[in-house]
């Protein structure tokens, strides 16, 4: 898994210098580099099958990658106070837990679905494997829940109120 994910081509585009207050190291009016990140999943190293882009600002003081709400082109024209409002700390740990949890509990009725939706929502605008894993978790959970509820419906129709879980 990690080998596959780390082999994702990452292309940093449109690097521009910005000045902002870093929410990670709390340096004020620190220099940073805004860039757009393009990631593409390629099948067999050739055919792009899935791609996305996201926006980031790298703090020159602590080297932390901060998630930006807008592209580097927009950030380039913003004042430091505006840039500060448009970046936020990237929180990978909860997202990783959510992503893994959504797959581990994908089989669970309702809970798997809810967890999958939350994980996808939490990782949608981030980069890296948690987003991919979350989507897989949600898809698996949807399939499991669809099959589960279909079976319940069939049993309910065939055996009236005698559901298999009530026995
Ligand atoms: Zn910093």
**Residue 124 dihedral angles phi and psi, to the nearest 5°:** -60, -40
Does the residue 33 lie in any domain? yes
For residues 73 and 100, membership in a common domain is answered with no
Centre of ligand 1 to C-alpha 15, Å, is: 17
For residues 10 and 85, membership in a common domain is answered with yes
Centre of ligand 1 to C-alpha 34, Å, is: 13
Does the residue 55 lie in any domain? yes
For residues 150 and 83, membership in a common domain is answered with no
Q: What is the pTM of this model?
A: 0.52
Whole-angstrom distance, CA of residue 94 vs CA of residue 134? 12
Does the residue 1 lie in any domain? no
Whole-angstrom distance, CA of residue 29 vs CA of residue 62? 13
Nearest Cα residue to 85 out of 131, 35, 18: 18
Centre of ligand 1 to C-alpha 165, Å, is: 54
For residues 98 and 145, membership in a common domain is answered with yes
For residues 84 and 126, membership in a common domain is answered with no
Output the CA torsion sign for 98, 120, 20, 34: positive
Does the residue 27 lie in any domain? yes
Is 80 exceeded by the pLDDT of residue 107?
Answer: yes
Is 50 exceeded by the pLDDT of residue 6?
Answer: no
Q: Give the confidence band of 86 by pLDDT, cuts at 50, 70, 90.
A: very high
Q: How high is the pLDDT of residue 5?
A: 43
Surrounding residues of ion ligand 1, Cβ less than 5 A: 22, 24-25, 59, 61-62
For residues 82 and 101, membership in a common domain is answered with no
- How many domains in the chain? 2
Q: How high is the pLDDT of residue 155?
A: 83
Whole-angstrom distance, CA of residue 30 vs CA of residue 18? 8
For residues 107 and 46, membership in a common domain is answered with no
Centre of ligand 1 to C-alpha 127, Å, is: 19
Q: Which of 68, 89, 110 is the last residue in one of the domains? A: 89
Q: Give the confidence band of 91 by pLDDT, cuts at 50, 70, 90.
A: low
Q: 55: exposed, middle or buried (C-beta count within 10 Å: 0-12, 13-18, 19+)?
A: buried
Centre of ligand 1 to C-alpha 18, Å, is: 13
Are the beta carbons of 15 and 35 closer than 8 angstroms?
Answer: yes
Are the beta carbons of 123 and 130 closer than 8 angstroms?
Answer: yes
Does the residue 46 lie in any domain? yes
Centre of ligand 1 to C-alpha 35, Å, is: 16
pLDDT tens-digit map of 118-154: 999 888 876 678 888 999 999 999 999 999 999 988 8
pLDDT tens-digit map of 34-66: 999 988 777 766 677 777 788 999 999 999 899
For residues 77 and 134, membership in a common domain is answered with no
Does the residue 17 lie in any domain? yes
Domain that holds residue 154: 92-166
Q: Which of 48, 69, 89 is the last residue in one of the domains? A: 89
Centre of ligand 1 to C-alpha 139, Å, is: 37
């Amino acid at each position: 898994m990690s080998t596959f994910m780390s082999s994702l081509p990452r292309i940093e585009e449109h690097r521009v210098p910005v000045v902002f207050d870093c929410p990670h190291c709390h340096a004020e009016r620190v220099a940073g580099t805004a860039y757009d990140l393009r990631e593409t999943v390629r099948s067999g190293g050739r055919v792009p099958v899935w791609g996305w882009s996201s926006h980031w600002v790298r703090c020159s003081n602590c080297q932390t990658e901060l998630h930006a709400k807008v592209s580097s082109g927009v950030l380039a024209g913003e004042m430091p106070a505006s840039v500060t409002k448009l970046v936020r700390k990237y929180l990978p740990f909860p997202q990783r837990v959510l992503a893994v949890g959504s797959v581990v509990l994908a089989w669970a009725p309702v809970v798997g679905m809810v967890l999958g939706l939350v994980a996808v929502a939490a990782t949608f605008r981030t980069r890296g494997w948690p987003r991919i894993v979350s989507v897989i978790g949600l898809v698996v959970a949807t399939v499991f829940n669809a099959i589960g509820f279909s079976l319940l419906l069939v049993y309910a129709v065939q055996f009236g109120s005698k559901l298999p879980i009530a026995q």
